[in-house]
Structures are given as C-alpha cells and as structure tokens.
Amino acid sequence: MNKNASVEKWVEETARLTRPDRIVWLTGSDAEYEQLLAEGVRLNQLIPLDSAKHPGSYLHRSHPEDVARTEQNTYICTPVRGDAGPTNNWMDPAEAYDKLRRLFSGVMKGRTMYVIPHLLGPPGSPFSKVGVELTDSVYVAINMQIMTRLGTVALEHLGDSHSFLKGLHSCGTLDPRQRYICHFPQDLTVWSINSGYGGNALLSKKCFALRIASWLGRQEGWLAEHMFITGIEDPKGQVTYIAGAFPSACGKTNLAMLRPTGAYSGYKIWCVGDDIAWLRVGIDGRLYATNPEAGFFGVAPGTSPQTNPNMMAAIAKNTIFTNVALAPDRTVWWEGLDLPADIKGFLDWQGRPWSPNSGQKAAHPNSRFTTPIKQSPVFTPKWNSPEGVPISAILFGARRSTLVPLVCEAFNWQHGVYLGATMSSETTSAAAGATGVLRQDPMAMLPFCGYNMADYFGHWLKIGRRLKAPPKIFRVNWFRRDAHGRFLWPGFGDNMRVLKWIIDRCYGTAGAQETPIGYLPSINSLDTDGLNLSGQGMEELLAVDRESWFKEARRQTEFFGKFGTRMPAELLLEQQMLIDRLSVQAQRT
C-alpha cells in the first residue's frame, strides 16, 4: 500500500506520545477483517454468534458506563470562544491539547495502535475527504471496516496531499470523569479519550463527517448534515430523492428504508444513506447529496420485521451487535422483537440473567447494530455516484408529543431554514442524560455543529441564495400523542402517505392550505384510506393551535437570543412574520 509521507510522520509522532507495542495499518482487505474479528474474540471484546442463524456476526458488550455519546464531554476547541457558539462546550485549544497530551502519554503501552485511513464519500469525487483515525480499540477498527470506505481506497484518494482529517482515539481507562472528545476544527483534528462507544469513538461519524465537516463546509461552501438520503421510485420509474434530518433515535433509519405496502406497493425505496448527508450546489443550481459513510450504526430496540423489514434483512449476517441481549443458542434479542417461548438462560446486555419479570430492559435502550450498507435490500449503486443525487425535498423531523403537526411545508427556502432552526425535540437515549426532555435541536444538529450555530444558520441562507432550483423544505412529526398518551399517527410504513404528499407537492400536484406556520395538506390531499386513527384523527394531527404557537414562538425568541447580534436578521424577520401571521389569525377568529 502506498503510504503518504504526512500521514506517516503524524503516525510516528503519535506513537512517540502514546507508546503502542505494535502499529497496524489497515488496508480494508477481507483477510485483515477476519484477523481483526479473531483478535476481538481473543481479547473478549466479541462473542461469536451462532454461525447458521447469524453468519459472520458478533456481540460486543461495552462498559456499562459507556453506552452513548456524552455531550457534556464533547468540546469544540477554537482559538476564539465565540466561534464555537453558545450551544457547544468550548475549551482553549492550547489548554485542551495540554490536558489531553497528558492523558494520551503512554496510554497505548501494551496495546496495538490501528492506523485507519478512510474515505468519506464516493471514490473519485472531488467532494470526498480523507480521514485517518488512530485507535487502540479493535472494536473501533472492526466497526470502522463496516462504517467507512476503508484502507487503500482512501490513501489512493489522498495521493501525496497533506490535507486529511486527523483523529486520535484511545479507550484509555474508560474513566467517565476523564472523558474528553475534543475537536480542533482549524487543525482538522479530533482527540477522543476514555470512551469506546459509538459517536465518541468511531471518529468518522459525528466527529469528522459532521462536526469537522460542517466547519469545512462553511469554508468551502457546502453543508454537512445529520440527514438520511433516500430515493423514492414511483410505479412509472421516476425516482425522487429526499433528505431528512431527525435527532438521534427518532426513526431516521426506519424512514430511510421504509417498505411501501398496500396501495403503495408499486413504489420502490432506494436508501443512499441513513444518518449523514454532504450537500452541495450543483452546476445546474440543484442541491446534490452524497453519503460519507458505508454502513449503518442503527438503534436495535424497536427494529423488527414489522417496523423495518429491510433493516432486519440487512443485519442477517456480518453484523456487530452492541449491548443487546444474548440467548443461550447464541442468537441476539432486543425489545420490540417477539419474545421466544423459551427464554431460559437469556442474558441481558450486561451479561446478567434476565427474564421479562426482572423489571429491567434486556437490551440497553441505545443498543446498536453495525452493518454494511451494501447488505441492505434497498441499496443503490447511486451511493457511490461521485456527484451524488439531486435532492427535491428536505425534511426536518422531531419528536414532539404535542403542537407540531404531522407535516407542514415551508413557504420558501428562508422560511424552511427558520423551520429547521426552530426545531425542538424530546431527548432520547442516544445521548447520556434524561430522556423525554424538550430541547431546541436546530436541524437535528445541536450536538453535531462544529461552529457557532448562528453562523451555521447564516451559511444555510447563503447556500439557498446559490440554488436556482432549491428543494422544498418540510417539517414532519410522527410522534403526536392523544390525551391518553397514545400515538395519533401509526408511523413506519404509513409514513409513505406523508412522503407521497411531499413528493406531489414537489411536482405541484397536491393541494395545500396556507396557515400561519406554513402550508398544510388540504382536506383529502393526504391519503388516509384504510387508516384507523385514534381521537380526532387527522383534525388533531393537522391543527394549528394559535395560543400554543405563540408560546412556542416565545421559546424560540429565547433560544435565538442566546446568539445575540450574531443571529442572521432573516431569521429574526421570519420569527416576527410568524408572530404577525398568528396575530392576524387571532383577530380574524
């Protein structure tokens, strides 16, 4: 394999600091992957599953205090504090390097350091970037093989360029009090220590492809977003691509690979990506998307043949399961799957005996599977298209049990940016901390934006000015509940009904009514045939409750206030216009 002089120099420097016993450069070959799996088993980090029922698959149990991203330990280390903004933790870069250098000093003694070059984006695309992660975790190395285009392909893309994203990771002691995930955007560098879990440790994902990439995108004129990318092919063969941002563990993956049924069984879904989209303005003035990743790191609980049959097919082999339950026949289980009749000998995610009466979850709520995108039945070779796919609609979705209607279309790009910027969602188990707490999560990027979010909003507006044919922007909410706490909307496969309305709006063939918050489906323009909705059904799902929206607007004003004068005037104007429209409506009624 060709080595790159800058990468080699940096690997040597890092090895002098961390003192690994061995350095292993990964090439991405199948034989190497087998060796890594064997090493994972030898180190008791992987438990082989039944080779007939789960071919090529393994269970990993993480440390019980290391089960999700830890936002409180995640820092953006820019020379000027204001550049990180009020929504990020900030540390002075010199202080952070100094603090972490001490923690990294000699930390890999007795361990192997894996050098993991990977390509973020399709090979041959001028938009793709090269990252290199150095890690002492074989679990990370294995997951990176699944999650990225790894090894030779990346070094070939890099050639002799000096510009690559540098990631240094060590599990260290896993001490949560000494856990740091520090980003140095100006150096294209991430240092992460004392966690081995998901987004804290697989640096290609949230650290590179979102935090560092969002910062790079601002310099270079593109967007790195927390979005799935999916093509919907109608029965005539026309494919419409949509991208959608949802906070972690809010059904983004299920939506990205939804299986149309019933009246929609003539439609086909093509999943280009389930988590991250890099968006650029094409020469034709449309917005194009590529997926920097090569695998899915999905939430296991709730994934089932009913909710996501395509994902169940994808994870049938060559999959790493993390923190799910283990049956004595070496199969895995999680909440949401049918419980086998005989559950004798079940072990929970920590390896403790488990039964449904034990009052505990068998699988951790943030337990995950890692599986190659190519195994998905809805895989499309467009995933590797260097220019990406043209996006017709952008969705902003959040988990809101009240207020936010099922679907709402923005009046235009600027209003759409406002809808994204004012998104708030109830927290989930994907991040450590309380769940179900409402928080502002603009564009589902709150934990992932590598710079000041006011500047980020401004950047979205700037991109819009370059688009000759901008995608339409929609807000969706599958999570409305009735007075008894039951979901008002069935979700999953039935979300296709909403997607159909969205696509028809893109082609100008569906009706809508103008409301103060945006365009909502007009009566009968959204297909509800055969649905058995609870409560007032559609009426409730599409209601615009003025008083509550005034309250919501006040919360948004408070949030925007955090950014002071850095806040783009256009969004403050949108805010004022919403209040004005609500007031006019109030006078009319």
Determine the 3-state secondary structure of 292 from DSSP.
Answer: coil
Least Å from the CB of residue 484 to Mn ion: 31
Residue 320 CA to residue 299 CA, distance in Å, equals 12
Q: Which of 73, 74, 195, 248 binds ligand SAT (CB under 6 A)?
A: 248
Least Å from the CB of residue 209 to Mn ion: 10
Q: Which one of Mn ion, ligand SAT, none is in contact with 464 (Cβ closer than 5 to 8 A by kind)?
A: none
Least Å from the CB of residue 70 to ligand SAT: 10
Q: Which two tokens stand for residue 264?
A: 């929609």
Nearer to Mn ion, 72 or 219 (CB): 72
Nearer to ligand SAT, 33 or 297 (CB): 297
Q: What is the 3-state secondary structure (H, E, C) of 135-166?
A: ECCHHHHHHHHHHCEECHHHHHHHCCCCCCEE
Q: In sequence order, what are the beta bridge partners of 240?
A: 232
CB 279 within 8 A of CB 225: yes
Interface size with ligand SAT, residues (CB under 6 A): 8
Q: Which of 166, 205, 400, 472 binds ligand SAT (CB under 6 A)?
A: 205
Q: Which one of ligand SAT, Mn ion, none is in contact with 138 (Cβ closer than 5 to 8 A by kind)?
A: none
Nearer to ligand SAT, 210 or 463 (CB): 210
Residue 256 CA to residue 297 CA, distance in Å, equals 13
Span from 156-164, 199-207, 311-319, 507-515 in contact with ligand SAT (CB under 6 A):
199-207
Which residues have a Cβ under 8 Å from the Cβ of 266 and sit 6 or more positions away? 234, 235, 260
How far is the CA of 566 from the CAs of 6, 245, 454, 573, in angstroms?
37, 24, 6, 14
Q: Which of 199, 405, 442, 470 binds ligand SAT (CB under 6 A)?
A: 199
Angle between helices 5-18 and 93-104 (to 10 degrees): 60
Least Å from the CB of residue 241 to ligand SAT: 22
Span from 111-119, 188-196, 197-205, 507-515 in contact with ligand SAT (CB under 6 A):
197-205
Comparing CA positions, the residue from 268, 256, 235, 253 lying closest to residue 298 is 253
CB 93 within 8 A of CB 224: no
Set 77, 182, 250, 449: catalytic member: 250
Determine the 3-state secondary structure of 274 from DSSP.
Answer: coil
Q: Which one of Mn ion, ligand SAT, none is in contact with 274 (Cβ closer than 5 to 8 A by kind)?
A: none
Residues that bind Mn ion (CB under 5 A): 248, 275
The type of residue at 308 is N
CB 240 within 8 A of CB 231: yes
The yes-or-no answer on residue 271 being catalytic is no
Q: Considering only residues 273-302, where is the footprint of ligand SAT by CB under 6 A?
A: 297
Q: Which of 40, 131, 198, 442 binds ligand SAT (CB under 6 A)?
A: 198
User: Any idea which residue has 């103060």 for tokens?
Assistant: 516
- DSSP line for 411-439: SSHHHHHHHHHT-EEE--TTBSS-SS-EE
Up-side HSE of residue 191: CA atoms within 13 Å toward CB? 24
- Is residue 206 near ligand SAT by the rule CB under 6 A? yes
Residue 3 CA to residue 149 CA, distance in Å, equals 17
Determine the 3-state secondary structure of 325 from DSSP.
Answer: strand
Q: Which of 67, 203, 255, 430 binds ligand SAT (CB under 6 A)?
A: 430
Least Å from the CB of residue 448 to Mn ion: 8
Comparing CA positions, the residue from 198, 244, 186 lying closest to residue 71 is 198
Q: Considering only residues 49-78, where is the footprint of ligand SAT by CB under 6 A?
A: 69
Least Å from the CB of residue 147 to Mn ion: 12
Least Å from the CB of residue 200 to ligand SAT: 7
> Which spans of this chain sit near ligand SAT (rule: CB under 6 A)?
69, 198-199, 205-206, 248, 297, 430
**What residues are labeled active site?**
250
